[in-house]
Amino acid sequence: MTRQRERVAGRTLAIEGGQPIRDTYLVFGRPLFSEEEIQDVVAVLRSGWPGMGKKTIEFEQAFAEYCGARHAVSIASCTAGLHVALLAAGVGRGDEVVTTAMTFAATINAIRQTGATPVLVDIDPNTLNLTPEAVSHAITPKTKAILPVHFGGLPCDLERLGELARSHRLAIIEDAAHAVGGVYHGRRVGGHGNLACFSFYPNKNMTTIEGGMITTDDDGLVEEMRLLRLHGLSSDAWKRFESKAFIPSRVVRDGFKYNMTDVQAVLGLGQLKRLEAFLATRERYAAILDEELAGLPFDRQLRPPLGGTDRHALHLYVILLRLEELTVDRDHILAAIREENIGVTAHYLAINEHPYYQRVLPYRPGDFPFAERVSARTLTLPMSPSMSEDDLFDVIDAVRSVLARYRVPAASAAAR
């Protein structure tokens, strides 16, 4: 599959004044909506009940079934889901929650919003996930929960994390924002008996625009989370709408305004039906990227073999540049690829490198060497199902030509 390679040889990069690889900007993670999904949204808008209602319940049931969980609670976002799940698990002021230094701000903010303290651990340099060893060293008498993040969609070692949680009586709250469709030991993420929080943000594996879901097998926790999601009210708004009888709603605890709507849910139902097809496209595109970009100066996140008992959900195709083989830094490579009109991006800056977290958490640059290696080297390449194969080859050509331009000549590399 080398059909466009001639475009790459000897061209002047756009960042140096040449013509970009493509005329229009390829947006990272552009969602894909079918005409049927659009019509379903229109029908809900016309129904007179666009807020949380029957469609939301239907979506919760369908998502729980997909994951193999007893329950699913829909929620305004994965961030809200993490907040609610942590509170339902009893996490609060004075508690510690062990999580990864390589994650999005949402993970840390949700922990801090409960009043608890995030305790960060470093990652495995190949999986980019936190390791059970690091977690075990971070557990103290104050630890209440472990919050693993399935980075890019690669499931964490839930078996060993589960053993740790059982022996120390800790909750596990999975940040599965990236892992919709991921599989660990033959069972989908969300179906392992923990609280697991998913994101349906537009660039995720499936979308409701904004939105998320929490899965659990615990009947008590599910009731608690439904209360927390809607003002602590004893009956959801849609039940009152449905019923002729007056159903008084009583506030029985603290709560938030974190519910989903039927407009989002109907989109989620449509997207869920197509999720396996989306995942198959992601797997096919990842295989093409693997093959076409082989031999370039980067390493990529470890991935379990296709068809095995573990499945990378492939929300992100993450590469780590070998900076010692390049003449410029990651930011320059990223800027050069963007100038080619390719929406490449970077996940993430390690938590201890953000100015705000340096003020409020006891960490400094240098504390998490593997996470910080990722901060300096990582690039995420676009590969979503909304892209055509031609789009994918634009990505390939842009990455090839930019890395070829800035690669240290073989002789000087060998001399190092």
Ligand X SMILES: Cc1ncc(COP(=O)(O)O)c(C=O)c1O
Q: Which residues have a catalytic role annotated? A: 204
Tokens of 100: 């990864």
Instruction: Give the residue with the Cβ less far from ligand X, 195 or 336.
Output: 195
Tokens of 73: 């609670």
Q: How far is CA 171 from the centre of its chain?
A: 21
CB of 348 to ligand X, least distance (A): 8
Instruction: Give the residue with the Cβ less far from ligand X, 201 or 393.
Output: 201
Determine the residue type at 55: K
Give the H/E segment covering residue 58: helix 54-67
Q: State yes or no: residue 104 binds ligand X (CB under 6 A).
A: yes
Give the H/E segment covering residue 184: strand 183-184
CB of 150 to ligand X, least distance (A): 8
CB of 212 to ligand X, least distance (A): 5
Out of 44, 149, 267, 333, name the contact with ligand X by CB under 6 A: 149
Query: Reduced to 3 states, what is the DSSP secondary structure of residue 29?
Result: coil
| Backbone φ/ψ region at 159: left (φ over 0), alpha (ψ -120 to 50), beta | alpha
**DSSP readout, 87-127?**
HHTT--TT-EEEEESSS-HHHHHHHHHTT-EEEEE-B-TTT
**How far is the CA of 265 from the CAs of 65, 67, 222, 230, 270, in angstroms?**
15, 17, 18, 16, 9
CB of 76 to ligand X, least distance (A): 8
Give the total of residues touching ligand X (CB under 6 A): 14
Instruction: Give the residue with the Cβ less far from ligand X, 171 or 177.
Output: 177
Q: State yes or no: residue 99 binds ligand X (CB under 6 A).
A: no
Distance CA 258, CA 233 (A): 12
- Specify burial of residue 248 (Cβ count, 10 A radius: 0-12, 13-18, 19+): exposed
CB of 108 to ligand X, least distance (A): 9
Instruction: Give the residue with the Cβ less far from ligand X, 149 or 289.
Output: 149
Distance CA 195, CA 327 (A): 45
CB of 199 to ligand X, least distance (A): 3
Q: State yes or no: residue 212 binds ligand X (CB under 6 A).
A: yes
| Backbone φ/ψ region at 181: left (φ over 0), alpha (ψ -120 to 50), beta | left
Out of 100, 103, 194, 281, name the contact with ligand X by CB under 6 A: 103
Scanning 47-55, 98-106, 324-332, 367-375 for contacts with ligand X by CB under 6 A, the matching segment is 98-106
Distance CA 206, CA 384 (A): 10
Instruction: Give the residue with the Cβ less far from ligand X, 31 or 297.
Output: 31
Instruction: Give the residue with the Cβ less far from ligand X, 152 or 297.
Output: 152
Neighbours of 127 (CB within 10 A): 20
Out of 201, 258, 368, 393, name the contact with ligand X by CB under 6 A: 201
Q: State yes or no: residue 106 binds ligand X (CB under 6 A).
A: yes
CB of 411 to ligand X, least distance (A): 41
CB of 295 to ligand X, least distance (A): 30
Q: Write the interaction track for ligand X spanning residues 250-289; mark x where CB under 6 A is met and - where it is not.
A: ----------------------------------------
Q: Write the interaction track for ligand X spanning residues 154-183; mark x where CB under 6 A is met and - where it is not.
A: ---------------------x-xx-----
| Strand stretches in 28-180, DSSP E | 71-75, 96-100, 117-121, 143-147, 171-175
Out of 56, 74, 99, 107, name the contact with ligand X by CB under 6 A: 107
Give the H/E segment covering residue 80: helix 78-88
Scanning 37-45, 53-61, 104-112, 161-169 for contacts with ligand X by CB under 6 A, the matching segment is 104-112
Instruction: Give the residue with the Cβ less far from ligand X, 20 or 343.
Output: 343
Instruction: Give the residue with the Cβ less far from ligand X, 104 or 285.
Output: 104
- Residue 337 contacts residue 384 (beta carbons within 8 Å): no
Q: Write the interaction track for ligand X spanning residues 67-96; mark x where CB under 6 A is met and - where it is not.
A: ----------xxx-----------------
Scanning 102-110, 186-194, 266-274, 356-364 for contacts with ligand X by CB under 6 A, the matching segment is 102-110
Distance CA 149, CA 104 (A): 9
Tell me the three-class secondary structure of 347-364, residue by residue.
CCCCHHHCHHHHHHCCCC
Site residues for ligand X per CB under 6 A: 77-79, 103-104, 106-107, 149, 175, 177-178, 199, 201, 212
